[in-house]
Structure formats: C-alpha cells, structure tokens
Structure 1
C-alpha cells in the first residue's frame, strides 16, 4: 500500500525524499538552520521544487553553507555567483545571503547559537498542527509575523512572514504534516 503524504508532494522523487526525511522534522543544528535560511530566502517568489532541484548546486556555490565563509564573501564572489547558472542568479538575494550570514553570526554570538534564538520562540517545543485539508494550512501565522518583524528589525532581508513560515515548517518548529500523512506523528 502506498504511503499517504501531504497534499503538496508531487511524484518527483526529490520532493518525496524531502517530505519524508526532512520537512517538519526538528532541526537544532546551526549549519542546517543556516542552509535552510539561505534556501528559503532564494525561494521567495519561486517554487520550493525549483530550489530543491538546485540544492546541491547551492551547496557547492555557497561553500557548503559555511556561515563564516559566506559572511566573508567579497564583491568578486558576488560576481562569480551571478555567473553561476546552476543557482538562482539574483543579485539582491545573493547580497542578502551575505548580509544575513553576518547577522546570523551576530545572533550566534548573542544567544550562544542561532538554534537557541529561533527555538526560544516556541520554548523549544514544536507546534504540531492537526490540519486535514490544504485550505486549512496557513501561509503565515502570528508567530511567523513576529519572527519576520524581529528579523527585519535586526536587518535580515528577504524574510517576510510567508518566507519565515515556510522556514519554520522546514525546520520543524511547525509540524504541518496533515493528519492523514504518515509523517504527521513522526
């Protein structure tokens, strides 16, 4: 019998693997959190599948999401990334990734880790939703509104409430697997 998955999962194996093994599972590791932060910021205005298909290319282009290396990128590196047709070539998003990396490090220094900073919003406990249908799953919530507002105040770019909500879903702060999905409880 075929596993029941969330409504958004297509037959694309990349999507299936991402859904089954990553999406909605709690992430506490700063390296992975930084990777998702970068990927979500590049996703703004595009489909997540577009990003997933280029994820390995992003990993290579952005030094395996080493936050310190990304924070130290120069104008020459920006120009190099703009020539890389295996990633999304958007100057604003590339420059935001560098700026956001510097802010990510500031948060690490202030809170001990980015994980401690982001998970404190939910007292280190994932929010488990009980949605049955696509129309019930929100694009934003008061939590994503607050985090987006706080990150904007710090200086983060390309992180509106919708992008933040997708980030929270990706890193498991919010488990929005629908109740009929085999991943809902695990």
Structure 2
C-alpha cells in the first residue's frame, strides 16, 4: 500500500480547492433580467441634439412613452419656424405666439434577445403648424421620418432614437433651399 506524505496530501487539497475556485468564477457578474415590451413605458427626460447644416443646439426635453406612442407635450419647433421666417426676431415672436405644440410618434416594438434591448420602429406622421407671418397664418407641414430604429436598453433603462425633418411645405409650396433638421435623442432616462 502506498502512503501519502503530508506534502502530497496538502498538494492534493490545494489542487482540488483551486479547481473549485476557478469553477465559481464562471458565474460571476450581475444577473441581468431580460427586457419585456412594457419596460419601455414611462416618463422620460433626455438630451436633444438638433442639427441643421452646421448649426447644432442642445437642450433637455421631456416626453412620455406608452404602449405604442411617444408623446411630446412640447415638440421643439424653433428650427422649423426659423426656416420659414428668416428674420430671427420675427421667428422668436412667432414661436412664442404658437406656444406648445403637442406631437405623437407611433411605433412598433420587438425584443432583440441577443442584445437584451427593445427595438422601436418609429412611424412619425406629418407635423402641422400654423405659423403667424406678418399677420397671416401660414399652414406649415413638416414631413418627419425615422431613418433608423430606436432602442430601449434594459440594463440602464435608457431610450435612444432619432428623427429628421426631411421636407417643409408652406401653404402648399415646398421650401426649395432647405437643409434637413435632425433631432437626435442619444440618451433619455426615466424620471
């Protein structure tokens, strides 16, 4: 019969313990629950980056997300009005006169289980505004589009999406020399 020495016994115990410790490393890290479609619902506050040509502005906007709609109680119209009215003072006065413009964006959602995100396919409709120009209300239609999907990331409960105002029509006439307005919401969080 073979006898084990103390050093051989300690070496065997050390090898077994090392194996158990390496095995336990495989399960380290937080458990991230899978996203559900209703996780996207809520009130959000986020950074809006608006780009038109070489002009870039940033502001904070609030909006709500429900089952299939993103709702802005006050959609940002400053760039649209400044495109229609070239005089900055008159454009700012028109924005004040118009006040808050409510706008809804319909969307459909699906879960991307590989990335653990909710993908939003946005379907914005035409935004209609009556812009006062020299005492006359100009019917302005803004064709908004979404060139890419939006995303709700479950890990940090954030929402990301973008819109572009591709075309503006004033009283039936399309503005000819128009630079598209990009509305980027790169990081919005629930309130």
Asked if TM exceeds 0.5, the reply is no
Structure ranking higher on relative contact order (CA contacts 8 Å, 6+ apart): 1
Q: Scaled by the length of structure 1, what TM-score is found?
A: 0.30
Which has more helix, going by share of residues?
1
Instruction: Look at both structures and tell me which one has the larger radius of gyration over its CA atoms.
Output: 2
Question: In proportion to residue count, which structure has more strand?
Answer: 2
Scaled by the length of structure 2, the TM-score of the pair is 0.29
